[in-house]
Amino acid sequence: MFSRGSKAPAVIALVASVLGLIFASSSTLDYAAHLDRRLHNVHCSFIPGASADPKAEACRAAMYSPYSALLKDQYWGGIPISLFGLGAFCFFAAFALYLLLAGEKTSRRTLGFFALLGTTPLLVSLLMLTISITQLGQICKTCAGIYISSALLAFGAVTAWLSARGDASRPSISFALVPAWLVGLGVTALAPAVVYAASAPDQRPYITQCGEIKQAKIKGDSPVKIRGARAVQPTMLFEDPLCPTCKAFHDRLVAENIIEKLDIELVLFPLDNECNWMLDSALHPGACIVSKAVLCGEGNARQVLEWAYDQQEYLTRAGKAGENTLRAAIKQRWGESLLRCVDDKKTDVRLNNHLHFASENNIPVSTPQMYLGKRRVCDEDTDLGLRFTLSQLAPEVLK
Amino acid sequence: MAGIVGLAAGILLTAGSVLAVRSWTSTAAQHLIEPEKEKPKVAVADQAEVAYCTPQFKQVLERVLHSCGLAAEGEGARRGCKPSDVKTFASISDDDFNALFTPLKDRGGVVLFDEGKDDLDDNAKKLLEERWFARKGARYFFVVARASKTGSPSKNNALSHRRANSVMFFLKQLSNDPEIEQKVGLLWLGNEFAQLSKEYCSWPNSRMNEKCDDEPINRSAFVSWVDCRL
């Protein structure tokens, strides 16, 4: 593709490495910023260095997912995998610069090594891309930036090697340099992660600071019971079936297999002023009706809840279109008898009892909320810090 | 030379990355110990509190709660208020007392009874059912029973008391709620306090198609959830 001795492949590899470095930095910066337990905008753009975006749902979903970091039980939020990318791209940028400056003095063995290792970020990227598509159902732009950079790097590295094949004029080098380079790559790839792990603030004093529930039982009623297959931890959840954050939280509990260890009492807390007097307007129109469907699910409550989460976009549109559209969707999936239950005044009273339970406990008007026993799990500990918090407050859940 | 430049670049980039990571985590750690200046306010779940919950209205209702046993819990808690109690604790004129309930005109309803009777007819039960199930964010349900503008005070007291109890009995059957004692406040008034004028005939009642004046409207029980935090 490129003529023998062309510097284009090295330039491509250098540019790709710098781009990868920038995207990995943005991703790491977002992660590190959240260590202060506050909400921050997230970088989510194909433009390297673009400012953080408040509506970066795909990137936020990727960040909160179980695949974004390692050692989540040991470190709050875990060690983001972007840190390894950050270090590795430093190595590849420096190596590409060397290839660019050395030109035809570069040995074929050196180019072979670079071609071999230069494809590893692409392999990791392909793995992460597959996870994004199959598990998260969306691709974050910053992650895509890293994937594209990795592909470019692999292209530059391989074409550099291909363009030097058969060039007998190139010098040869000792095999001893190969392990040295590998050590260099290992050190650069690990260094940011080691520093991050060593300097990340201790979150333990904060995870128990979000209070307790005052009244543990609903007066005159019962919550929805969702008992996992190996339930060991009594847990109370306040959820709204049309709340996207609740869906993401539920998906995390399922993906990390945590839900099977929880003995859940689900309290429905729809953020819809049709039934919830605590709101002036509906955040999630139709959530009252869908909540009643969950209540009517009884033994199948988890299935109804998960159906609502799976169909959340459609149900949200239906909720905005009007009550009848929503009722038709419920009838189509769950049949006439469940819809009759939804329309029963007793179900209104049950949902009202759930809302009164929330008001008697003066919980924050937000969803989702998780209580381990009586202790409230802070909002920030239900997303990035979920596994770490569980490892501290309910370690048996992670066993 | 190229090797040295490459090595130097590698060291510089790695050092830069490490320093950047260190700086980001340190900044986060600093934020963690500093109180947030503009912490977003999160509303807290609570019972409803609407515009008619004036201090005077709440004062009267709170006196009802404390004097009539709703705020007390347990078997021995006293249920309901006698007219003499109301006169004492309300410390308010008849008209002012009735005016306090005016904002509840559409939230509540008036259950009408036959002369000298305390039975609930079908329309009365229907009205009670509608109002009871429209609880929303209210914590307390008030029942203000009356007997007649005429007749002896003792007879009126007894009849008014029976009417309040009729409503309570029906609500217990309807709701099957073991906590109902802590939700329903009963007041029974004789003809010595806060009788209704015929203007109240325009309020939603269980006999909208029947003739109404200031005699039938006082053979009644006014019922309503009250959307006030007490």
DSSP letters along A230-297, please? T--EEEEEEE-TT-HHHHHHHHHHHHTT-GGGEEEEEEE----TTT-TT-SS-SSTTHHHHHHHHHHH
Write out pLDDT tens, residues A268-285: 999 999 999 999 999 999
Helix axes A82-102, A120-131, angle to 10 degrees: 150
* Contacts B53 to A, Cβ<8 Å: none
CA A13 to chain centroid, in Å, comes to 29
Q: What is the predicted pLDDT for the residue at B189?
A: 82
Residues B10, A188: C-beta atoms closer than 8 Å: yes
Q: What is the predicted pLDDT for the residue at A361?
A: 95
- For tokens 């007894």, name the residue: B158
Distance CA B27, CA B21 (A): 10
Whether the CB of B13 is below 8 Å from some CB of chain A: the reply is: yes
- Whether ipTM tops 0.90, in short, is no
Q: What is the predicted pLDDT for the residue at B181?
A: 83
Coil vs helix vs strand at B41: coil
* Contacts B227 to A, Cβ<8 Å: 277
What average pLDDT does this structure show over B73-97?
61
Q: What is the predicted pLDDT for the residue at B82?
A: 61
* Contacts A94 to B, Cβ<8 Å: 6-7, 9-10, 13
Calculate Rg over the CA atoms of chain B: 30
* Contacts A384 to B, Cβ<8 Å: none
Q: What is the predicted pLDDT for the residue at B78?
A: 46
Whether the CB of A192 is below 8 Å from some CB of chain B: the reply is: yes
- Do residues A28 and B21 touch, judged by C-beta distance below 8 A? yes
Count of CB atoms situated within 10 Å of the CB of A389:
24
Distance CA A152, CA A16 (A): 6
Residues A32, B25: C-beta atoms closer than 8 Å: yes
Residues B2, A201: C-beta atoms closer than 8 Å: no
- DSSP output for A78-93: -EETHHHHHHHHHHHH
Whether the CB of A49 is below 8 Å from some CB of chain B: the reply is: no
What residue of A is the nearest CA neighbor of B41? A364
What average pLDDT does this structure show over A371-381?
94
Count of CB atoms situated within 10 Å of the CB of A350:
22
Whether the CB of A283 is below 8 Å from some CB of chain B: the reply is: no
What average pLDDT does this structure show over A178-207?
94
Task: Express as a percent the part of chain A with pLDDT over 70.
Answer: 100
β-strands A233-239, A369-372 pairing: antiparallel
Assess whether the previous peptide bond of A368 is cis (omega < 30° from 0): yes
From the list A38, A94, A196, which residue is nearest B13 (CB)? A94
Write out pLDDT tens, residues B137-192: 998 998 989 988 777 888 888 899 999 999 999 999 998 888 888 888 888 887 77
Sheet containing B220-226: give its strands across: B109-112, B220-226, B140-145, B184-188
Residues B24, A33: C-beta atoms closer than 8 Å: yes
* Contacts A196 to B, Cβ<8 Å: 21, 25
What residue of B is the nearest CA neighbor of A87? B14
Residues A102, B136: C-beta atoms closer than 8 Å: no
Write out pLDDT tens, residues B20-41: 999 999 999 999 988 777 777 7
Classify each residue of B104-126 as buried b or exposed e, where b means 16 or more C-beta atoms within 10 Å of its C-beta: beebbbbbbbeeeebebeebbbe
From the list B7, B21, B48, which residue is nearest A195 (CB)? B21
Q: Which of A3-7, A85-89, A184-188, B202-206 has the lowest mean pLDDT?
A: A3-7
- For chain A, give the mean pLDDT: 92
Residues A220, B177: C-beta atoms closer than 8 Å: yes
Residues A94, B9: C-beta atoms closer than 8 Å: yes
CA distances from A153 to A9, A98, B10, B80 (A): 9, 15, 16, 82
Whether the CB of A207 is below 8 Å from some CB of chain B: the reply is: no
* Contacts B135 to A, Cβ<8 Å: 349, 352
- Do residues A274 and A302 touch, judged by C-beta distance below 8 A? no
Residues B10, A94: C-beta atoms closer than 8 Å: yes
- Do residues A107 and A86 touch, judged by C-beta distance below 8 A? no
Write out pLDDT tens, residues B95-142: 777 887 888 988 999 999 999 999 999 999 999 999 999 999 998 998
Write out pLDDT tens, residues A227-263: 999 999 999 999 999 999 999 999 999 988 999 999 9
Stronger pLDDT, A370 or B90, i.e. the higher one:
A370
Instruction: Tell whether the model's pLDDT for residue B67 goes beyond 70.
Output: no
**How many beta-carbon pairs under 8 angstroms link A with B?**
149
Which site among B1, B5, B12, B17 would you substitute to test the A interface, given the most A Cβ atoms closer than 10 Å to its Cβ?
A: B17
Instruction: Tell whether the model's pLDDT for residue B85 goes beyond 70.
Output: no
Distance CA A129, CA A137 (A): 10
Instruction: Tell whether the model's pLDDT for residue B81 goes beyond 70.
Output: no
